[in-house]
Structure 1
Amino acid sequence: MQGETAPPACLIRWNVLSLDQWNERFASARRASLLQSYDYARAACPVLGLKARWGVIEIDGVEAGLVQILETAFPGNLLHGVHLDRGPVWLPGFGTADHVAAFFNAFHRAIPRRLGRRRRFIPEVPDTPEMRQALVRAGLRARGSSYQTVWLDLDPDDDARRARLRKSWRNELTKAQKNTALHIDWATTPRTIDEAIAGYHADRTLRGYPGPSVKMVRALARQFFATNNLLVGAVRAHNETIAMVMLLIHGASATYQIGWTTDVGREYHAHHLLLWDSSVILKQRGIRDFDLGGISDDKDGLAIFKTGLGGTIIRTPGFYD
């Protein structure tokens, strides 16, 4: 029809970049998720029994994004599983609803729905009516509720970010910083990695919250430590560890992977100290976006704590096939 704009043409080229080329492009993207990073695939595939494939997305002949999928296949490829989790990663200037529809249409043509194939998508797009319609136009079917996480923008300087803290959060941070009994330690060593994971396992067992398995956390720690993309922080008081965090760096983004706090740590606001110090250290390393982790309800205590640091709740549409 006259006056209508033709939909963008999308092509996905698989396994055409070197690792350095992939990482260079990945680092140029804002809010690139952990699950789309190369280090994540290297760690997760042996644990989950999967293989990874890496794609360059072209829109109208121009490089527009990256996509990493994890696959499992049995002999003859009769049974085939495909996971595209929290992707694709759009490069600056791309990621509109039309681009999203064009990408998933191209993906559907390359890896169509069929008997014996199970596809799982967690699209990393805003949960808006326009984006949901784009996914439907591409033939995807909704299979679960929306996913939400909290991202912290690290572009502002430390003073500006501190001014954005919720007043109560800032007051508790100040108390922790003035507490001379507290010592913060960012020594990322095999010993502190083991200590963080052991504390996480004990805390998760005691409190019963969902989270990655110890086996997965250990694999991630091993891979990210090898590439100098792992940070482990601890707060100690009177020679006792009262809180720890483990952060994973991927491109210009970072993710809060695990953390735990003792009763004494909560009393002393040790996690306020760790998260604030995390943001300062990541900023110094040139990281621009900090994923503070998923939340189930934007009004529960965890969400209130994370947004108190200045984070923004980002909702995506959830699971599709």
Structure 2
Amino acid sequence: MQGETAPFACLIRWNVLSLDQWTERFAQARRASLLQSYDYARAACPVLGLKARWGVIEIDGAVAGLVQILETAFPGHILHGVHLDRGPVWLPGFGAPDHVAAVFHCLNRVMPRRLGRRRRFIPDVVDTPDMRDALAHAGLRARGSSYQTIWLDLDPDDDTRRAALRKSWRSELTKAQHNNALHVDWTTNTQTIDDVIIGYHADRTLRGYPGPSVKMVRALARQFFATNNLLVGSVRLQNETIAMVLVLIHGSSATYQIGWTTEAGRDYHAHHLLLWDSSVILKQRGVRDFDLGGISDDKDGLAVFKTGLGGTIVRTPGFYD
């Protein structure tokens, strides 16, 4: 079964917008995922051996959102892979369960499930019974567990956001800010990009946590640096760098991509400095939503740390085909 009849008429028009038009519309969306951004496609496709397509979603004749898919195909499309990761991107006023059902019903019609086609849909919708019903009615099958990330709303002013920090988080940030031995720097250039990636690779190798490959991070950093959408921050203690982060900006949203810290960095709360400063810088640049990154457990240390900054855990339904 490819799904029931959609409650709205939905049309996806592919590759009809200029880059400027796509960028303008993308910036209108709240909580737009990194994986749906044009810069991400430009960076990831050569690394993954994929090609991108960009769709404008129209529901009952109105422009409702954007969708970016990455594809792999062999001659004649006998074998075809379709990746829709953390999308679509909904424009204001859209994204209700009926809209979600309509767009995935449309995708089912355009790219039906068949022998030789591998589909990976990771809908970027809040995991609720209504949303799961909408995906099922569109003919999608659940194939994986839910995904959780933490979003920080940057609309409130800095004083309001600081007052909303968890008390212990705010106390540790204040200690770090008043420590004259620490120096925070937000210089983004080829040297600092190399430094944060080298440190990330060493830290990930030592501690064994999951994360993007060094090749992918380098490709992302190169692309986002070229479009002035990259931030690299570091904290030094005397002559030693004790923590670094790399943040990607996409539309009116941004994503904490990688970071690392030393034991001294943890002792001196260096990441409190970097995350707080990055939120201030992003707000100054017009960013409204900051994706602090995925978590595996909403009660683990990483989740507790990120929610201390004021972030909200958002759970999506996971992987479908």
TM-score by length of 2: 0.98
List runs of 5+ in structure 1 lacking aligned partners.
1-5
Superposed displacement of residue 161, structure 1: 0.2
Q: Is residue 234 of structure 1 aligned with residue 225 of structure 2?
A: no
Could you tell me how far apart the structure 1 residues matched to 2:260 and 2:12 are?
41
Aligned to 1:75: 75
SS at match of 2:66: strand
Give 1:85's aligned residue. Answer: 85
Instruction: Give the match for residue 224 of structure 1.
Output: 224
Kindly tell me the number of residue pairs found equivalent between the two proteins.
Answer: 316
| Unmatched runs of 5 consecutive residues or more in structure 2 | 1-5
Report the counterpart of residue 171 of structure 1 in structure 2. 171
Letter of the 1:38 counterpart: Y
SS of the residue 1:278 aligns to: helix
Q: Please give the TM-score of this superposition, normalised by the length of structure 1.
A: 0.98
1:306 aligns with 2:290: no
Q: Classify the secondary structure of the residue corresponding to 1:105.
A: helix
Return the offset for 1:239: 1.0
Instruction: Output aligned runs, 1:176-215, within 5 Å.
Output: 176-215=176-215
1:12 corresponds to which letter in structure 2? Answer: I
**Partner of 1:140: helix, strand, or coil?**
coil
Displacement of 1:9 in angstroms is 0.7
Question: In structure 2, how many angstroms separate the alpha carbons of the residues matched to 1:77 and 1:65?
Answer: 27
How far is the alpha carbon of 1:10 from its aligned partner? 0.5
- Equivalent AA in structure 2 for residue 225 of structure 1: F
Cα offset, 1:7, TM superposition: 1.4
Q: CA deviation at 1:176?
A: 0.2
Instruction: Encode CA deviations 1:274-308: one digit per residue, 9 max, x unaligned.
Output: 00000000000000000000000000000000000
Write the distance in 2 (CA, Å) between the matches of 1:143 and 1:77: 24
Aligned to 1:3: none
Q: Percent identity?
A: 85
Which one-letter code corresponds to 1:212 in the other structure? P
The whole-number CA distance in structure 2 between the counterparts of 1:296 and 1:159 is 31
Q: Aligned residue for 1:50?
A: 50
Q: Which runs of 4+ in 1 moved over 4 A?
A: none
Whether 1:109 aligns to 2:71 is: no
Letter paired with 1:258: I
